[in-house]
Structure 1
Amino acid sequence: MTHDGWREWAPGIRVVVRRLRDDSPAPGEPRYTDVLGDLLKVDDEGVLVRTRRGDVHVPARAIALTKVVPPAPPRRRPRSL
């Protein structure tokens, strides 16, 4: 995992970004959360990642750790009864 290597990324890869939470976690709750998905955009302001729940912008100042990860496995079709 790296901290500044994300600045070299090209859109289209799958990544995980550990970010400092932008809310105020309660005592005992984690200060960080992970964003996993396909990279859409990289600039000096941060990264834009398409997750299963939608697009997430992670500001540069909130990025703690980053990693390129393998493509997602194919989704399974629901079994019929």
Structure 2
Amino acid sequence: MVNLPAPTPAGFLAAAAPGTRVVVRYRIDGGFTDALGHLVMCDAGACTVRTRRADVVIPLREVVAAKEVPPAPEPRRRAAP
């Protein structure tokens, strides 16, 4: 059995299909932050993740981790009073 090396975070994003739900951790001034949402696109320089608030364009050189995540849970229903 041959163990293949895991793809780099940028390699994972480049290979992922648009529409895949992902979380991407990337560097910002003073630390790191995450973008959780659907991958819109990825090219040689950046990827775009559609979060609940906006599309986030992330330079691939700033990405430190990325993975596919399961679909968001269904919203909870309010209990009747």
Q: TM-score range by the shorter chain?
A: 0.7 to 0.9
3-state SS of paired residue (1:48): strand
Cα shift readout 1:31-57 (whole Å, capped 9, x = no counterpart): 111110011111112211111111101
> CA separation in 1, counterparts of 2:78 and 2:44?
42
Aligned counterpart in structure 2 of residue 11 of structure 1, from 18, 21, 28: 18
Q: Cα offset for 1:76?
A: 2.7
In the alignment, the residues of structure 2 paired with residue 79 and residue 56 of structure 1 have an alpha-carbon distance, to the nearest angstrom, of: 35
Going from structure 1 to structure 2, the CA distance change for 1:52 and 1:78 (only over 3 Å counts) comes to farther
Residues 7-47 of structure 1 deviation map (CA, whole Å, 9 limit, x = unaligned)? 101101100000001xx32xxxxx11111001111111221
Segments ≥4 residues shifted beyond 6 Å: none
User: Match of 2:34, as an amino acid?
Assistant: D
Higher-Rg member (1/2): 2
TM-score (norm 2): 0.78
The percent identity for this pair of structures is 43
Matching residue of 2:35? 35
Match of 2:14, SS state, is: helix
AA matched with 1:37:
G
- Number of residues paired by the alignment? 74
Where structure 1 has 5 or more consecutive residues not aligned to the other structure, the ranges are 26-30
- Structure 2 CA distance, aligned partners of 1:12 and 1:48? 11
Which has the larger displacement, 69-78 or 12-21? 69-78
Where relative contact order (Cα < 8 A, 6+ residues apart) is larger, the structure is 1
- TM-score normalised by structure 1 residue count: 0.78
